[in-house]
Amino acid sequence: MNNSETLRSFRTATWLGWQIESNWTDPFLFAVYSIIKPLAGAAILVVMYSVITKGNFDTPIFPYLYFGNAFYIYVGAIMTGVSWAVIDDREHYKTLKYMYIAPIHIPAYWLGRGVARFLTGSFSVIITIAFGVIFLHVPLDLATVNWPLFILSLILGVAMLCMMGLILASITLLVAHHFFLIGEAVAGALYLFSGAIFPLDVLPAWIRPVGFVMPITYWLELMRRSMVSSVSQAFPTLQRFSDLQLAGILVGLTVVFAVIAYFLFRWCDFRAREEGLIDRVTNY
Amino acid sequence: MQKNNPFKDAPAAGSNVKNNPLAVMPHERAAGWKLFFKTVVARAYPRIVGQQREKSWIFFDIFLPMLAVSAYVFVYRAIGAPEEYVGFVVIGGAMTAFWMNIMWSMSSQLYWEKEQGNLALYIMAPNSMMAVLLGMAIGGMLATFLRALAIILIGSLLFHVQYTIISFWQLIAVFFAAMTALYGMGMMSASLFLLLSREADHFAQLAQEPVYLVSGFYFPIKSFNFWVAAIASIIPLTLGLDAMRQLIFATGASLGFLNVTVELTILLILCVAFLFGARALLGYMERLAIREGRLTESRR
């Protein structure tokens, strides 16, 4: 692997990804699109919550689910951004075969395509949290935010999500085009196991271990603790872990996922070439 | 190859073709209603049979929405909601399959056909575009019905949802009225998407969470202000879901937006409006797309 080739692939893919993500419309419509979708997602939870609690937003579970949901936007955005590039290039632009014969590093190219989704995802996260603070009294004081922990957690989380995105991208090489985005679908599914919008204790005991092996669980806990430490203290699930321990677990699991991503890509890439799947189009 | 060939039952040239709906000999060209129905069957075929061949599709279509439904169920349990809300989420989750099908396999379909070069062939062929859309709708509806049914069965078993059918025939009527209106709406939006290019995918994306919100997929629509719920009722699943919940849950009626009979009447009106609207809009959009040269454009 050539470092300059990897960097060049990543940089060019980042530029390409941003163009694809943003230039389909004018900036105003793009901004509206980027705001409405995440706010509607958050509003579903807010309405569900307020219907049952008769609008009592002062319980600790409300900021727990609101922050969890807001930061979870990154999960869908980054994993989808990386894995969707396969479908987009293979079936829409029909350029995946050209990417394969070009002097580029394919995983670095996919990661670069995910950067644009990270940027738009960041915009959505900020808007969602701002909306919650202004209109729903979500407790957030910028002066008490643990900024070093926040930045460290964000960097670790993005790295971990990129590895998960690579795993999905590799699998996507072997599966057909679906009418939803496979990254978003998996992200939606992981909602269940990672304690994003409810504490893991609510899950049946036999299913909880799945949550404990998912790095997203620890990442969301770190993000919540960095924003409002009192929220996490209200729930016992991960209370026994210090911030440093959580960060250590997150680093460990990210390394594990990176190793899986590396070997899975090699295997899926081999199978896709063997079975002639690089340039197939699936649409009924 | 033979196993996957949709025309495997077609007789050899010169043999009797009377009993084979797909076989048309060159000297027996179908026309009029016969051509219309053959087109419907031909377009529905890949939706019903072709989709089942891609095993990963079946898995993702059922298993992943099921996990999302489970997440919302556990949110309700975390905040101490009454058990009937669990049933509401299961039914709402199953109905998301239909909405996804409308957005991605109806509305966006003509855009995808355009991108792949099939749209021009559809227009050139002597069949009606309404028949193509109707075939897509019927095929999509049947295929999605099986997936939605699987979600309801698995969800009900997992979360012990209790059903109390108030009126079976009303339930059937509401379901079919909602589906007819919904797919009529899908046919209408398909013709609108005919003019779109790259933005089609983004518009389809944009029509997910906001519609799940305003249509009350995961909570009773009655939770909204009357006028918000009334405006949201333009989407047939809003009233369809509300009426179905009233008819299958013991406490459903107390959380219903309008009386079931009123909701059924509105759904029937929407059926007529959307189907006629689809026919009128498709004709207009097709002419517009031809005039502006958009049928073969590909702004990538």
Give yes or no for residue A271 having a pLDDT over 90.
yes
Residue A209 domain flag: yes
- Mean pLDDT is lowest, of A138-152, A187-201, A263-277, B240-254, for A187-201
Question: What is the per-residue pLDDT for B125?
Answer: 83
Q: Integer distance in angstroms from the first to the last C-alpha of chain A?
A: 38
Q: Which residues of B touch A36 (CB under 8 A)?
A: 206, 210
Q: Which residues form the domain of A64? A: 3-274
Res. A265: pLDDT tops 90: yes
Is B209 an 8 Å CB contact of chain A?
Answer: yes
Whether chain B has a CB inside 8 Å of the CB on A98: the answer is no
pLDDT at B97: 86
**Range with lowest mean pLDDT among A58-62, A256-260, A263-267, B168-172:** A58-62
Q: Complex ipTM, two decimals?
A: 0.82
Q: Chain A, 8-47: which have a CB under 8 Å from a chain B CB? A: 24-25, 33, 36-38, 40-41, 43-45, 47
Number of domains in chain A: 1
Q: Do A44 and B209 touch (CB under 8 A)?
A: yes
* Average pLDDT value for residue range A6-33: 84
Lowest mean pLDDT among A19-28, A167-176, B17-26: B17-26
* CA proximity to B271, closest of B175, B185, B197: B185
Mutating which of B62, B70, B75, B85 best tests the A interface, going by the most A Cβ atoms within 10 A? Answer: B75
Q: Do B209 and A41 touch (CB under 8 A)?
A: yes
Q: Domain residues of chain B, as ranges? A: 28-291
Does residue A198 have a pLDDT over 50? Answer: yes
Structural domain contains residue A280 = no
pLDDT digits (tens, 9 = 90+) for B116-171: 778 888 888 888 888 888 888 888 888 888 889 988 999 999 999 999 999 999 99
Q: What is the mean pLDDT of residues B13-29?
A: 53
pLDDT tier for residue B2 given thresholds of 50, 70 and 90: very low
Task: Inform me whether the C-beta atom of residue A51 falls under 8 Å from chain B C-beta atoms.
Answer: yes
Q: Is the pLDDT score of B3 beyond 60?
A: no
Of the partner residues B47, B81, B85, the one whose CB lies closest to the CB of residue A284: B47
Cβ of residue A205 closer than 8 Å to a chain B Cβ: no
Residue A19 has pLDDT above 70, yes or no: yes
For B43-88, the pLDDT digits (tens) are 888 888 877 776 767 777 777 778 878 889 999 999 988 888 999 9
Alpha-carbon distance values, A77 to A84, A122, A274 (Å): 10, 9, 31
